[in-house]
Amino acid sequence: MSYTAPLKDMLFDIQHLAGIEQIAQLPGFEEAGLETAQAVLEECAKFNEGVVAPLNVDGDRNPSTWKDGQVTTTPGFKDAYRKYSEGGWQGLQHPQEFGGQGLPKAIGAACCEMLNSANLSFALCPLLTDGAIEALLTAGSDALKSVYLEKLVTGEWTGTMNLTEPQAGSDLALVRTRAEPQPDGTYKVSGTKIFITYGEHDMVDNIVHLVLARIPGAPEGVKGISLFVVPKFLVNADGTMGARNDVQCVSIEHKLGIKASPTAVLQFGDHGGAIGYLVGEENRGLEYMFIMMNAARFAVGMQGIAISERAYQKAVAYARDRVQSRPVDGSGNGPAPIIVHPDVRRMLMTMRAITEGCRAMASVAAAAYDAAHNHPDAAARKQNQAFYEFLVPLVKGYSTETSLDVTSLGVQVHGGMGFIEETGAAQYYRDARILTIYEGTTAIQANDLVGRKTMRDGGQTAQAIAAQIEKTEGELSKRGSADAKAVAKRLGAARKAFLDAVSFVAQQAKSAPNAVFAGSVPYLMLAGNLVAGWQLARSLLVAEDLLAKGEEADFMRAKIVTARFYADHVLTRAPALRDSVVEGADSVNALALEAF
Amino acid sequence: MSYTAPLKDMLFDIQHLAGIEQIAQLPGFEEAGLETAQAVLEECAKFNEGVVAPLNVDGDRNPSTWKDGQVTTTPGFKDAYRKYSEGGWQGLQHPQEFGGQGLPKAIGAACCEMLNSANLSFALCPLLTDGAIEALLTAGSDALKSVYLEKLVTGEWTGTMNLTEPQAGSDLALVRTRAEPQPDGTYKVSGTKIFITYGEHDMVDNIVHLVLARIPGAPEGVKGISLFVVPKFLVNADGTMGARNDVQCVSIEHKLGIKASPTAVLQFGDHGGAIGYLVGEENRGLEYMFIMMNAARFAVGMQGIAISERAYQKAVAYARDRVQSRPVDGSGNGPAPIIVHPDVRRMLMTMRAITEGCRAMASVAAAAYDAAHNHPDAAARKQNQAFYEFLVPLVKGYSTETSLDVTSLGVQVHGGMGFIEETGAAQYYRDARILTIYEGTTAIQANDLVGRKTMRDGGQTAQAIAAQIEKTEGELSKRGSADAKAVAKRLGAARKAFLDAVSFVAQQAKSAPNAVFAGSVPYLMLAGNLVAGWQLARSLLVAEDLLAKGEEADFMRAKIVTARFYADHVLTRAPALRDSVVEGADSVNALALEAF
């Protein structure tokens, strides 16, 4: 088996950290208790382990290819996608009225992780479809919804997000694609979009492009961007497929990783204009796009966790198998499996602790999302929404930045074999490298964290999280164990470092923006590090309790060790990050531009 | 120009940190003063910028290919290698009696960096030849020297190092290749060697393989390994080329990076035995191999610096060119080149500071090597040798580990374009990934640092270095500038962290080897971080002095800012590394093996 879903870990988080039984008390989630979670996850594991994971290497070796505007995906992808669609996996979290299952995100996030662990390239297609669904659910007219939503939710068609243009990457103010209003209420869209994931492919009959464009006369900058649906094939009034729309895939990119996922250059309107349908109101495209992006950002964070998990599993398997050198403590006479060597253990523990920490963080974020949407109490919804929104850039930024380290360690554990492509460890290293870039680079996530999530409320949400962490420290300190005490100490130091950084950011952001944004990414990394460490600390408390009850002793001991490792080797990085934020801005901004 | 040698930075280090004028006072280096350094470096820059660097991308796109035992290198490589050889670059540091120029390593190291910045794959061939030269100089008989040395020093032939076998990677005790003594004093060598860099290629007429093998009846383990010269073509008594030897390249690897460098599987003795010549004495192969490896390890450290420099240059060029988003401080109305954005500056400064810090460290290490070999005073030689030997694992380990971060940041600065192979940033990221693995993984470097370099002398060399650092702190504290004071503070904190780690390692290594080796890599990273930061602190002192004299104000200011940045953003990581070493071992070793 090339991938085994970490069901026990996932269910531990869903039960004890995300609190699935509380989620199941929210209106709309009555069926979504632990038993459902377990049943869904088991089925999901079976599907991904058996159908999707085996195609991962194939996708790297036989990437999608382009010919005369057509994209042919890796052999096997089309069939796997059909099974994905038939299994109802696309609709897991989407409303039942459009053919979905309406499950909470706390369950959906774990399924998202599995799909991405199995095959990052494959998983991108559903990930983008999810974004299109979110946008239509939020802002689409009833007419648009009725034509497109069910087809997307069932996975019969797929969706894309068309933001980037050659001159407009992170800066959407520079978008130039035009949308000319037509007498019949449609628009003629023309322009070039690049980096369009699954912008063209052969797995389904129709592709629903969500496209940012400007209507003539619209305000300059981001306030003049509108969102359009531009289907590959027009849809007739009776729901049957109509004419081919004027959107062409002119090429796909030759990339470092995720090679099976076609990254298209799309040309809209070269032959008279592609017919597009306005989503929501004119000039509110950026706002709607953010809804799609917030969903997509969380999902990309899950990709970071997913690729880390897969890299960890491969490294562990190799470390058990590879025999080299005697144990340093003289405990054996001959060469031993390298997993006994302390530095290999250190690398594996680092991979493991970061992966589990990020998963735990994402799991509680998902639970907050569920409460933010379904809680009957408005104040609780608001509080959960603020917590979730604070965590999205951490899930995206921290889980993906650390995935670069984790997949790199995965290569390192393999030694020279790691550098040979046939081994497979290098693929994870290459695939992961996009994660800190797309759906907003880490700097963009950090801008969001600084601006919308910290500055705007004067640091209140951040401080509220710190207060919760302090409570966890209190619980840890009451425990008798050395592990709990050690974790409490590290958590406290990291929390104080975080609070310093929060104060600095909240107080200086307006008066000294260059200083604050010089430390925005270290601030994000500090916050992510802390929140992940906090969730592992919570898992230690749970594990100690269950261990005392005699439940699954080996598993619980591993949870405790992992939390302790994270505290001693990862949380300890917090003060240096604090220094970068609070005391490091001068040297970031001091060098004359000509001197670089 | 795709690469511009950082001559000013290199000469600053050579003059002010390595102290080239003192080196020129050592017997044998009388001609090697600053003027010589400048002339050699300028010529070297011209050659590498003009001839070698332009082939770097070609090498990645059209790697070496294998057919029927022959390896064809990338078009252009053969011609460039001929120019390299004709220019006398292979012999730069080697003795004049064998056709070299006998220049100090302080100059050679800079030339090594340039060649590797220009083209890591190309540079590997000379790097391995250097290793073969070192081994023959140290242990070869006069007969072997007379046949092979001049051919290698002039670059007419190239050399290889044959250590690894499928079952013996880091663990040379597992070497199985056999060498049967023959009546004529030669040996018949048979076995399989893997990962042999430039083990076969078309750039020269003959390849001199240095091969580790066992003579029947030799002791088990590393004490029974001998070193042999096994030429691709035998050499007749009159120096003309003789018969083809029984060594065949059966395949080359498909790798993540350095694709132009053929990584060969060599089969020795499938047709009766390859004729080999013993180097030095029987069963002392490991000792000789270590001589080659120490040279090669330093050179791989230079590769880390070299690829970091190249990635930095590319990122700066892109950041100047790419226009996206308004300045966060409201200083402009329209989108600006991204180099003005604080997070881009932070990334570029990180790349720059680490690269300069590692270069400065390597430069003083090279100077110590020169003094260790040529100083007339035995005590000075010994002291310099100890310093150099302590620094080799840092130059190798720290410069290469950080090169992974630096080349990754290089991709990140490019945003989505960084993930597209045509951009070129991804090549550096892929190429760099081997550097922490070959010539001894970082863990192997760390074992060396812990065992031979710290434990063996009870931490004395480490403490002596710390004492020198404390002196530098004293000088910094006397300065009036805020920069000097800030650097003094960070350097002091890092030094104290280091001393804690040294005590722990020196005291516990024998009694608690698992605990010490659990922190060996963090210990190496701490030491490397500190020494690099120390050298930048020294460069700040020099730059302040020269600035006061009105010399090259812009350049000196940049030196000061870079040292300050390193102190505030990189040296600050030292305490966390100390915690991993001193307090982190338990959680590294606690997890049950079955629980991974």
Q: Cβ contact (<8 Å) for B346 and A518?
A: yes
A255 at B interface, C-beta within 8 A: yes
Domain stop point among B100, B122, B153 = B153
| Strand partners for B168 | B165
- A191 with A86, same domain? no
Q: Cα separation of B454 and B460, whole Å?
A: 7
Non-local (6+) Cβ contacts of B80 within 8 A are B51, B52, B55, B122
Number of domains comprising chain B: 3
Which residues in chain A are closer than 8 Å to B346, comparing Cβ atoms? 518-519, 521-522, 588
The residue of chain A with its CA nearest to that of B194 is A416
Q: Are residues A501 and A550 in the same domain?
A: yes
> B558 and A589 in contact by Cβ < 8 A?
no
Count how many Cα atoms sit within 13 Å of the Cα of residue B551 in the half-sphere of its side chain.
10
Q: Which residues of A touch B436 (CB under 8 A)?
A: 412
Q: Which residues of A touch B575 (CB under 8 A)?
A: 572, 575-576
Chain B residues closer than 8 Å to A587 by CB: 349, 561, 564-565, 567-569
Cα B360 from chain centre = 13
Q: Which residues, 6 or more positions from B498, have their beta carbon under 8 angstroms from its beta carbon?
A: B462, B466, B526, B527, B530, B574, B578
**Domain membership flag for residue A136:** yes
Integer angstrom CA distances of residue A564 from A360, A398, A558, B292, B449: 15, 19, 10, 41, 27
| A148 and A188 together in one domain | no
Residues A515 and A541 in one domain: yes
Mutate to test the interface with A, among B170, B525, B588 (most CBs of A within 10 A): B588
Q: Which residues 165-194 on chain A approach chain B with CB closer than 8 angstroms? A: 167-171, 173-174, 194
Q: How far is B550 from chain A (nearest CA, A)?
A: 17
- pLDDT, one tens digit per residue, over B216-269 is 999 999 999 999 999 999 999 888 999 999 999 999 999 999 999 999 999 999
Band (pLDDT 50/70/90 cuts) for residue A170 is: confident
B338 neighbors B358 (Cβ within 8 angstroms)? no
Among B195, B342, B576, select the one facing A588 at the smallest CB separation: B342
Return the HEC string of A397-416: HHHHHHHHHHHHHHHHHCHH
To the nearest whole angstrom, how far is the Cα of A19 from the nearest Cα of chain B? 25
Active-site residue, A439 included: yes
HEC letters along B424-476? CHHHHHHHHCCCCCCCCCHHHHHHHHHHHHHHCCCCHHHHHHHHHHHHHHHHH
Mean of the pLDDT values across residues A78-82?
Answer: 98
- Residues in chain B with CB shorter than 8 Å from the CB of A345 are 518, 588-589, 591
Token pair in block for residue B493: 């904190």
HSE toward the beta carbon, residue A447, CA cutoff 13 A = 16
With beta carbons less than 8 A apart as the criterion, state whether B529 and B573 touch: yes
Question: How far, CA to CA in Å, does B522 sit from each of A344, A420, A468, A549, B277?
Answer: 13, 26, 31, 37, 41
pLDDT level of residue A509 (50, 70, 90 thresholds): confident
* Interacting residues of A222 by C-beta distance below 8 A, sequence separation 6+: A172, A173, A286
Verify that B89 and B198 share a domain, yes or no: no
With tokens 């991405």, the residue in question is: A116
DSSP reduced 3-state for B279? strand
Mean pLDDT value across residues A395-421: 98
Model pLDDT, residue B170: 81
CA A116 to chain centre: 10
Which residues of chain B make contact with A593, given a CB cutoff of 8 A? Answer: 339-340
Instruction: Choose, from A356, A389, A439, A544, the residue flagged as catalytic.
Output: A439
B105-155 pLDDT per residue, tens: 999 999 999 999 999 999 999 999 999 999 999 999 999 999 999 999 999
Window A:323-362, CB contacts with B under 8 Å: 323-325, 328-330, 335, 339-346, 348-349, 352
Residue B364 in 3-state DSSP?
helix
C-alpha A162/C-alpha B466 separation (Å) is: 56
Chain-wide mean pLDDT for chain B?
A: 97
Which distant-in-sequence residues (6+ apart) come within 8 Å of B554 by Cβ? A592, A594, A595
For chain A, how many helices (H) and strands (E)?
Answer: 21, 12
Distances (CA, A) of A20 to A23, A115, A371, B47, B93: 5, 21, 11, 66, 68
Q: Mean pLDDT throughout A99-113?
A: 98
pLDDT 10s digits, A31-74: 999 999 999 999 999 999 999 999 999 999 999 999 999 999 99
Take residue A398 and report the two structure tokens written for it. 């921290």
Minimum CA–CA partner of B426 in chain A? A256
The residue whose two tokens read 């812009």 is B554
CA distance A481 to A496: 23
The whole-angstrom separation of Cα A278 and Cα A187 is 7
Residue carrying the six token digits 């399989």: B192
DSSP class per residue in A59-108? HHHS--EEETTEEEPPTTHHHHHHHHHHTTGGGTTS-GGGT-----HHHH
Whether the predicted pLDDT of A1 surpasses 80: no
Query: Are the beta carbons of B261 and B431 closer than 8 angstroms?
Result: no
Which residue of B343, B515, B580 is in closest CB contact with A446?
B343
Q: Does B452 touch chain A (CB under 8 A)?
A: no
Closest residue to B583, CB basis, from A168, A568, A594: A568
Which B residues in the span 362-421 are in contact with A, Cβ-Cβ below 8 Å? Answer: 404, 408, 411-412, 415-421
Give the residue from A117, A121, A203 showing the smallest Cα distance to A158: A203
Following CA atoms A580, A582, A584, A590 in sequence, which dihedral angle do they give, to the nearest 10 degrees?
A: 150
Measured between alpha carbons, how far is residue A532 from residues A200, A494, A521 in Å?
A: 37, 11, 16
Nearest Cβ partner of B343 from A420, A520, A557?
A520
Q: What is the average pLDDT score of chain A?
A: 97
Q: Which residues of B touch A421 (CB under 8 A)?
A: 254-256
Nearest residue on chain A to B518, alpha-carbon basis: A342
Backbone region of residue A284 per phi and psi (left: phi > 0; alpha: psi in -120 to 50; beta: other values): alpha
Q: What is the pLDDT of residue A290?
A: 85
Q: Do B573 and A572 touch (CB under 8 A)?
A: no
Give the pLDDT confidence of B24-75 residue by residue, as tens digits.
Answer: 999 999 999 999 999 999 999 999 999 999 999 999 999 999 999 999 999 9
Q: Are residues A61 and A175 in the same domain?
A: no
Domain that holds residue A34: 7-153
pLDDT digits (tens, 9 = 90+) for A284-334: 999 998 888 888 999 999 999 999 999 999 999 999 999 999 999 988 889
pLDDT at residue B206 above 70?
yes
Same domain, B208 and B116: no
Contacts of A444 (CB under 8 A, 6+ apart): A170
- The residue among B153, B175, B210 that closes a domain is B153
d(CA A416, CA A431): 19
How far apart are alpha carbons A367 and A379 in whole angstroms? 16
Angle at A472 between CA A471 and CA A477, to 5 degrees: 100
Residues B45 and B172 grouped into a single domain = no
Contact yes or no for B437 and A419 at CB 8 A: yes
Any domain includes B528? yes
Q: How far is CA B181 from CA B148, B209, B276, in A?
A: 21, 18, 9
Q: Is A382 within a domain?
A: no
Residues 522-581 in B contacting A (C-alpha not used; CB under 8 Å): 522, 554-555, 557-558, 561-562, 564-565, 567-569, 572-573, 575-576, 579-580
Note whether B174 and B124 are same-domain residues: no
Chain B residues lying within 8 Å of A316, measured CB to CB: 596
Q: Please list every residue in chain A whose beta carbon sits closer than 8 Å to the beta carbon of residue B558.
A: 591-592, 595
In a domain, B95, yes or no: yes
Look at residue A291 in the predicted model and tell me its pLDDT.
Answer: 82
The SS3 of residue A324 is coil
Q: Beta partners for B230?
A: B209
The whole-number pLDDT of residue A474 equals 98
Give the one of B254, B320, B564 whose C-beta lies nearest to A422's C-beta: B254
Angle A207-A210-A213 from CA coordinates, rounded to 5°: 135
Does residue A76 sit within a domain? yes
DSSP β-bridge partners for residue B268:
B191, B247
Q: Are A124 and A153 in contact (CB under 8 A)?
A: no
Rounded CA separation A569/A580 (Å): 19
For residue A228, the Cα-to-chain-centroid distance in whole angstroms is 25
For residue B480, how many other CB atoms are within 10 A of its CB? 7
Whole-angstrom CA distances from B293 to A196, B296, B438, B454, B550 are 47, 5, 10, 19, 44
Establish if B418 belongs to a structural domain. no
Partner residue facing B419 (CB), from A434, A520, A521: A434
The answer to whether residue A327 sits within a structural domain is no
Identify whether residues A95 and A227 lie together within a single domain. no
A interface mutation test: which of B346, B404, B517, B593 has the most A CBs within 10 A? Answer: B346
In DSSP terms, B71 is beta-bridged to B66
The pLDDT of residue A410: 98
B227, burial (CB in 10 Å: exposed 0-12, middle 13-18, buried 19+): buried
Residue B587's closest chain A neighbor by CA? A565
Q: Which of residues 190-249 of B touch A (CB under 8 A)?
A: 194-195
Instruction: Kindly list the residues from chain A whose CB atom is less than 8 angstroms away from the CB atom of residue B251.
Output: none
Using CB atoms, pick whichever of A255, A437, A446 lies closest to residue B415.
Answer: A437
pLDDT at B509: 84
Q: Is A520 on the interface with B (CB under 8 A)?
A: yes
Does A140 share its domain with A199? no
| Residue linked to tokens 């648009």 | A144
Q: Residues A359-386: what's their mean pLDDT?
A: 98
Chain-chain contact of B437 with A418 (C-beta, under 8 angstroms): yes
Instruction: Report the run of H or E that residue A444 belongs to, with start and end.
Output: helix A442-450
The reply to whether residue B348 touches residue A596, judged by beta carbons under 8 angstroms, is: yes
Looking up residue A29, the CATH number of its domain turns out to be 1.10.540.10
Do B196 and B149 lie in one domain? The reply is: no
Catalytic residue among B309, B439, B473, B544: B439
In a domain, A182, yes or no: yes
Q: At what angle do helices A520-548 and A378-413 cross, to 10 degrees?
A: 90
pLDDT tens digits, B418-467: 999 999 999 999 999 999 999 999 999 999 999 999 999 999 999 999 99
CB contact under 8 A, B579 and A572: yes
Tokens of B112: 């090594």
Cβ distance A593 to B339 less than 8 Å, yes or no, reads yes
Q: Which of B103, B133, B153 is the last residue of a domain?
A: B153
Q: What is the pLDDT of residues B261-301, one digit of tens each?
A: 999 999 999 999 999 999 999 999 999 988 888 889 999 99
Q: What is the pLDDT confidence band of residue B1, given thresholds at 50, 70 and 90? A: low
